[in-house]
Chain A
Amino acid sequence: MQILKQLREEGRAEDMQALLDHIPYAKFMGVQVDRKGNEVTTILPFNEMLIGNPTLPAIHGGAIGAFLELTSVIQLLFNTQCERLPKTVDVSIDYLRSGRPVETFGRAVVTRQGRRVANVRAEIWQDEFNKPIAASHGHFLLTPV
């Protein structure tokens, strides 16, 4: 991917915000990245369009799934320099609580990284870190540099 190569050449391989700014769907969702040292947190600011159930109201399960997937991929790319974006092989999502219309945060852990496939777990939360609203684990195909 052009932008991955460019960031690598500029010595900004860990600048995940710059990467997100080049992914149209991430921009559409409004996803941001906060980094403290080697700790990466993704942020999904609330937006009316994220609503799935207007009665409650609650954030759409698909938006939650997409955010979990982006969080996983960002963590993977932060850990490993890749030629291309990781390809999702499968992802399994548990919905734990309904997503309220507020800001959502995400964090992922690469549980195992092989040469071609990585296992990633992700969790997202709102007000309380200890009360995640959804969790996922997925497999991703890598093309390391």
Chain B
Amino acid sequence: MNFELMFLSRDLVLRFGAGFYAAWLTHMNETISGVSPYGLAIGMSVQDTTDSKLTVKVPYAAHLVGDPDSGVIHGGVITAALDNASGSAVRVSEDWHDGLSMATLDIRIDYMKPATPHVDLLVTAECYKRTKTIAFVRAVAYHESEDDPVATSVATFMMGTPNQPRP
């Protein structure tokens, strides 16, 4: 969180109360970091951002289970978290502005081991190259350490796609 945002946060709490601030934070989480309705539905939230990296968390939840016998969450949840974190990692760069928009071209995911039941999932994504037209992002899904991944992914995004309501 940068300085301006800190002062704005304090200001909002003083003026409108903590409840409003919480709602505002949720709203910012949605707009700044691109946590979408689907991201919210699976409980995803942004944990941390630097200039090219972003970490999101997906808390373990019963509705995300893919195998009821073991309680392991579904691969689709990991796909969604990797996809969302990768897209958001492109948007955290300093020169990003709201006029820009993008679309996922492809994502390739390797699943290294099943996620551990009842443990939150973390995903860290890094946009390691961005050209005028394409952004390249890699991401890791893990519990404790990035060195012991549940899954890894590589994705490309096309920049400058239209972002207007459909006719």
Contact = CB atoms under 8 A, between A and B. Distances in A.
Nearest to A27: B63
Contacts of A82: none
Contacts of A90: 108-111
A91 B79 contact: yes
8 contacts: A51-B38, A63-B76, A66-B74, A66-B76, A70-B76, A85-B66, A90-B108, A94-B105
Interface in B45-101: 62-69, 73-77, 79-84, 87
B37 interface: yes
Interface in A4-55: 22-29, 48-55
A94 B84 CA distance: 15
A24 to B, nearest CB: 4
Interface in A83-108: 84-85, 87-95, 98, 100
A45 to B, nearest CB: 14
Given A50-B37, A93-B109, 16 more contacts: A1-B67, A24-B64, A25-B66, A48-B37, A50-B38, A51-B37, A52-B37, A62-B80, A65-B80, A69-B74, A85-B66, A88-B111, A91-B75, A91-B79, A93-B106, A95-B105
Contacts of B73: 25
Interface in B107-123: 107-111, 114
Contacts of B164: 55-56
Contacts of B75: 66, 69, 88, 91
A59 B166 CA distance: 13
A111 interface: no
Interface residues of B, number: 41
Given A24-B62, A89-B111, A95-B105, A69 B163 contact: no
Given A22-B68, A49-B37, A85-B66, A62 B81 contact: yes
Contacts of B67: 1, 23, 84-85
A3 B75 CA distance: 19
A27 B76 CA distance: 13
Contacts, number: 141
B111 A23 contact: no
A21 B54 CA distance: 35
Max chain A Cβ within 10 angstroms of own Cβ: one of B40, B81, B104, B164: B104
A69 B82 CA distance: 14
B156 to A, nearest CB: 10
A60 B38 contact: yes
B76 A65 contact: yes
Contacts of A1: 67-69
Contacts of B36: 51-54, 60
B79 A69 contact: yes
